[in-house]
A = this chain, B = another copy of it.
Amino acid sequence: MGTSTTVSSALLTRFQAVRSLTDSLSEPLCAEDQVVQSMPDASPTKWHRAHTTWFFETFVLPRRSGGHAPFHPAYGYLFNSYYEAVGARHARNERGLLSRPTVDEVAAYRRHIDTAVGDLLTGEPLDDATATLIELGINHEQQHQELLLMDIKHLLAQNPLRPEYAEPWQQPSSTEPPPLQWHEHDGGIVPVGHQGEGFAFDNESPRHDVLLAPFRLADRLTTCGEWIEFIDDGGYERAELWLSDGWARRCDEQWDAPLYWHREDEHWRVFTLRGDRPVNPAEPVCHVSFFEADAYARWAGARLPHEAEWETVAVEQLDAGPLEGHFLDDGPYHPTAASSTWRHHPVRQLFGDVWEFTSSPYIGYPGFSPAAGAVGEYNGKFMSGQMVLRGGCCVTPWNHIRPTYRNFFPPHSRWQFGGVRLASDDD
């Protein structure tokens, strides 16, 4: 069954907007910035730009009547990320060895595929499967927009010159955050997972019921000021606060503060995409690992929320009002709400500041099965050794955030914009 012209047209608009945003995110970067891989987990900007294009070329364009002639015989190999079913691919940790294709050649690749997808969307009637794959490609590219910014931040932070990605933004003078208060919830049998018409990844399904005991959730995120108290109280030196693997990692990598923090003349400073500046005690702590978040929670006499607890509260809050970001100043997006103005709302900062660590290992929901075909490798095969994070952060495209969204990273990862919201058992 075909998709209507209206749908195709809306899809084209969104396709073009997303593709265009990726290009504008690369604009502040010189060619040199776009080629380097700062660690095996990160990818060069140029690679993100090419890989997101490859995604459309590989999964969407072959569905055109008449087929699709590959733009370049080697790109299928070079820009496949991890799809075993699609074939061999260039080693992930060697992406930074590829000085060619150049940034300009990648831009030409993008334009070529954009045109072809545009033709597809304005030409023949679109079948549902193709529409679904384009939708997936759009969401895929949004994920890489965030990765691009995470990765470029990591790269620039390695450089003693401390280059800025975007102009510093004048933070409002810091105000005291409101005292942390607990939002109480009665628990019970609650639905978890995606429902309805909108797009969601396969890992948000199937929607199912979970039994929750009564619990309490912090009404705001943990702040940098609170994190400094944790540091000053020996939080990074007291093994009893840490999981065993976390403590080993802390010792190996000599963690003594969040990633990107450094001490200068007894004051903490932080490297951001807008340059190096003092830590603002009122803003949410960011770039901590699950291990640090977990240790902090133990120190605070609390715990991290289960993902079902988080989702339940998030859905309820969303029902009570529109999705409103309370952005950190770090990313390229202009913060719409300063950290000096605190919303009057039962539970603040759920969306768009930092990804919030949950206590939930990332596994499939009961009855989960991956999407059919090669795109089934998208999420399912990563369901071991990672933790779920919720909420979206200041470098997540705002229309990519939803309460059922399950992000995931290994418990030691720090380069994602991850922060902390406490939870506790009801007494």
Binding site for B on A (CB under 8 A): 30-36, 38, 46, 74, 77-78, 82, 84-85, 90, 94, 96-103, 155-156, 158-161, 163, 189, 208-211, 213, 239-240, 242-247, 290-291, 294, 306, 359, 361, 363, 366-367, 377, 381-385, 411, 425
Shortest Cβ-Cβ A-B pairs, 7 listed: A361-B361, A211-B211, A84-B239, A32-B99, A31-B31, A33-B99, A244-B381
* Chain B residue at minimum C-beta to C-beta distance from A187: B366
Kindly state the separation between the CA atoms of A274 and B382 in the bound complex, as whole angstroms. 38
Distance between A232 CB and nearest chain B CB, rounded to angstroms: 21
> Known pairs A36-B99, A210-B211. 14 more at Cβ < 8 A?
A33-B99, A35-B36, A36-B96, A38-B97, A82-B244, A84-B239, A90-B160, A98-B158, A98-B161, A99-B155, A243-B383, A245-B384, A245-B385, A246-B384
* Chain B residue at minimum C-beta to C-beta distance from A104: B30
Known contacts A32-B31, A35-B32, A385-B411; A159 and B245 CB within 8 A of each other: no
Return chain B residues, CB-CB under 8 Å to A246: 384
* Chain B residue at minimum C-beta to C-beta distance from A242: B381
Interface centre among A31, A101, A189 (most CB of B within 10 A): A31
* Chain B residue at minimum C-beta to C-beta distance from A244: B381
Known contacts A159-B99, A240-B84; A425 and B366 CB within 8 A of each other: yes
* Chain B residue at minimum C-beta to C-beta distance from A158: B97
**Contact among B34, B46, B163, B211 with A189 in the assembled complex (CB-CB below 8 Å):** B211
Q: Is the CB of A160 within 8 A of B243?
A: no
Q: Is the CB of B97 within 8 A of A159?
A: yes
* Chain B residue at minimum C-beta to C-beta distance from A163: B100
Kindly state the separation between the CA atoms of A247 and B85 in the bound complex, as whole angstroms. 13
Q: Is the CB of A209 within 8 A of B211?
A: yes
Return chain B residues, CB-CB under 8 Å to A163: 99-100
Return chain B residues, CB-CB under 8 Å to A359: 363
Q: Is the CB of B155 within 8 A of A97?
A: yes
Q: Is the CB of A384 within 8 A of B243?
A: yes
* Chain B residue at minimum C-beta to C-beta distance from A208: B213
* Chain B residue at minimum C-beta to C-beta distance from A209: B211
Known contacts A99-B30, A155-B97; A35 and B38 CB within 8 A of each other: no
Kindly state the separation between the CA atoms of A65 and B413 in the bound complex, as whole angstroms. 49
Kindly state the separation between the CA atoms of A351 and B68 in the bound complex, as whole angstroms. 53
Q: Is the CB of B381 within 8 A of A74?
A: no
Q: Is the CB of B99 within 8 A of A213?
A: no
- 7 example contacts (A-B, Cβ-Cβ < 8 A) are as follows A31-B32, A32-B103, A82-B244, A94-B158, A98-B161, A99-B156, A100-B163
